[in-house]
Each structure stands twice: as structure tokens, then as C-alpha cells.
A = this chain, B = another copy of it.
Amino acid sequence: MSRARSRHAGAIHGSPAPTIIDVARSAGLSKSVVSRAIRGDPAVSASSREAVMAAAEELGYRANAVARSLVERRTYNVGVVVSDLHNIFFAEVLDGLYAAAAQLGYRALIATGNRDPIAEERAVEQLLELRTDGIVLAGSRMSAATVAGAARAVPIAMVGSDLRLKGVDVVVDDDFRGAVLAIEHLAGLGHREIAMIDGGQGAGAAERRSGYESAMRAARLGAQVRVEPGDFTESGGYEAARKLLATGRRPTAIFAGNDQSAVGALNAVNEAGLRVPEDVSLMGYDNTALAALRHISLTTIHQPRNQIGEIAMQAVVRRIENPGAPGKRHVLAPMLVVRSTTSPPRKSSRLRSG
């Protein structure tokens, strides 16, 4: 029956794709049997199954997820809205999300808001129209009201932002704890003048700052607390570090709110003619790919990003399959990663301050 060269009918885009009915006709069976065979339903005789598969292959049949979704009233799609794809931080979260979705039998559909809350809302609205079974919001800047509105339609999980909304799962790193880890490391090396560059409105910035303050007090360094305003960008870190170095007592260690700003700070320290870590120790937060570059080799706090994504996806799927289950808050433990930007302070300053 089939030509020698091409196994599939050479469908050009215009011509309609074969349906289950075409396969049925070609296999000499009913559409019901074809449907069952395609889905792997055991209630099909071996011979029928074979005939169906052969016909499907021959025609180049591909299941139509649209029709299937319509009758099943679910899509097995989970939408993921990422506020910013430029932020490498989210790449690994997406990996985790993706892997977990595949493992649970769902597809992850990624949309982005390009750092614009309005665009994010539009993206959510579109995913809702597409009838995704659930949505994961990564680093969202949307208002609580909007999120709550979406949560009415479909289970939602958020990562990166810590909205406490009932019916919404939240997966966060324990930023407070991470900051404590950082300060314990620096204080343990003997530093006393430990300044922090703040992350402003950034995700987790407030927790990191209070972790810093708390750990400083715990180390009896409450008097040395010094928080320089900044943000989570490279230039924010640069400017903040310049101020730290130019005025007041010069810190022997700087804890930046994230890796980006730490890299900016690194540059400011170098420009001031100081060396890292000999003159100033420097820490970041997030353990992004940036921190791992040899040329930078930044001591930082690792967030289990992959796992964050996994857990978020699992949370959504759990609530898809178990409607009515309440949303939870999942807090993950950060980890210290020591690289080359931290060392004990110079003897002189150590003596002077001790």
C-alpha cells in the first residue's frame, strides 16, 4: 500500500492532519478501538492494537491534545510565568520545574513577563484561557489581589516571592538563615567590621538583612552593623561598595545581597586599590553561575534552586489532583559555598579591633 520512499503521507501544511477516524478507517476498526489503542488501554486485542499502530504510523497520526483536553476537561499543562528570563537564577528553577512536571506526567509551558507586572498578568490570563491545570509563578511582581484572582481558577505555587495567600503554595529559600550562615562564616574568620549591601525591594532582601542584623548581634557585633542601601544589580553593588569604602570605618568584609551586586562590589574594591580577599573579604548570595567563574570565584550562599522548582511543581500537581487541599509554605535550607573571596582579616586590623 505505502510507497517505497516515504512512510508517512507527505502532508503539506495546508492539508488537514489525520484524525483518529482516518486511522480507524485505514485499520478497518472503529474510532473507539483506535482511541483505546493509542492510549494504551489494555482492553484491546493484540491484533487490533497492531493494526491500529501500523495504520497510525502509516498515516503519520499524532494525537490531538486540543480535542483530548476538551473532553477530559483538563490539559495536563502547567503554566510557568517567569518574571525575568535574563535572571540566570531562574534557569535552574525551571530545570527543576520541568523535570518534575515530566516525571508527574504533565507538561510545563513557560511564559514570561519581562519584568513587567502588567505583562505578567496578561501571561497569567492567557494561561488561564489555555486552561492550564495549574500555574507556577516565578519571581512574580504581581499584586496579591491578582494572584488571589488567579488562584480562584486554578492551583498556584509561587517561588521567589513570599506572598501569604491561602490557596497558594509558596516555595522559598530560608533567606534569614542564609544570611546568618554568611555572617557566621565571616565572623568565624575573625572579621568584625562586616558591612552589608542591601537588596532593596528584591526578593528575599528583607529576610537577608534581618538575618545579617540578627547574626551580628549574636556574634556580639551589634555595634558594627552597617547596612548600605542598594539593589540586586551589578551597578547597585558597585555604588554601594564605593560608599562603604569611602566613608566611615572601612569594613574588612562585605556581605552583598546577591551575587550580581557582589560582582559590582568586587569591582569597586579593586578600583579603590584594595585586594580581595587580602584587604576586604566579599560574599554574595545565590551561588549563580557568575559566582562559579574562576575569574570571580565568589564565596556565596547556595540556594537549592533545582529543588525549589521541583517542589513548586509537585505542590501544584498535588493540588490539581487533590482539589481543596490547602496551600503550604515550603522553606528550604541554604548552604555556604566557600570560594576565594573570603579569608581572615589582616593581622593589623585584627589586632586593632580585638
Residues of A at the B interface (CB closer than 8 Å) are: 8, 10-14, 16-17, 60, 62-67, 69-70, 73, 75, 77, 85-86, 88, 90-92, 94-95, 98, 107-112, 114, 125-126, 128-131, 152-155, 234, 238, 263-264, 266-267, 270, 289-290, 293-296, 319, 323-324
CB–CB A66/B69 < 8 A: yes
CB–CB B294/A267 < 8 A: yes
Known: A66-B131, A263-B295, A289-B86. A14 touches B323 (CB 8 A): yes
Given the complex, which residues of B lie within 8 Å of A12, measured CB to CB? 152, 323-324
CB–CB A98/B86 < 8 A: no
Whole-angstrom CA separation of A293 from B107 in the bound complex? 36
CB–CB A112/B114 < 8 A: no
Whole-angstrom CA separation of A238 from B323 in the bound complex? 52
Known: A11-B152, A95-B114, A238-B294. A70 touches B73 (CB 8 A): no
User: What 6 A-B pairs come out closest when comparing CB atoms?
Assistant: A110-B110, A267-B294, A65-B129, A267-B295, A85-B91, A86-B91
Whole-angstrom CA separation of A333 from B189 in the bound complex? 51
Looking at the assembled complex, report how far the CB atom of A186 sits from the nearest CB atom of chain B, in whole angstroms: 21
Whole-angstrom CA separation of A245 from B63 in the bound complex? 57
CB–CB B112/A109 < 8 A: no
Given the complex, which residues of B lie within 8 Å of A95, measured CB to CB? 85, 112, 114
Whole-angstrom CA separation of A86 from B95 in the bound complex? 9
Given the complex, which residues of B lie within 8 Å of A293, measured CB to CB? 234, 263, 267
CB–CB A10/B66 < 8 A: no
Residue of B nearest to A63 (CB): B129
Given the complex, which residues of B lie within 8 Å of A290, measured CB to CB? 290
Whole-angstrom CA separation of A288 from B169 in the bound complex? 34
**11 new A-B contacts at CB < 8 Å, known A66-B130, A98-B114:** A14-B324, A62-B125, A64-B129, A64-B131, A70-B70, A86-B289, A108-B111, A109-B109, A110-B111, A290-B290, A295-B295
Whole-angstrom CA separation of A295 from B264 in the bound complex? 7
Looking at the assembled complex, report how far the CB atom of A291 sits from the nearest CB atom of chain B, in whole angstroms: 12
Which one of B67, B75, B86 contacts A88 once the chains associate, using CB atoms below 8 Å?
B86
Given the complex, which residues of B lie within 8 Å of A60, measured CB to CB? 152
Looking at the assembled complex, report how far the CB atom of A317 sits from the nearest CB atom of chain B, in whole angstroms: 13
Interface pairs (25), CB distance under 8 Å: A11-B153, A12-B323, A12-B324, A13-B154, A13-B319, A13-B324, A60-B152, A62-B129, A65-B130, A65-B131, A66-B130, A77-B130, A85-B95, A86-B91, A86-B92, A86-B289, A98-B114, A107-B126, A109-B110, A109-B111, A234-B293, A266-B295, A267-B293, A290-B290, A295-B295
Whole-angstrom CA separation of A112 from B125 in the bound complex? 22
Given the complex, which residues of B lie within 8 Å of A85, measured CB to CB? 85, 90-91, 94-95
Looking at the assembled complex, report how far the CB atom of A330 sits from the nearest CB atom of chain B, in whole angstroms: 20
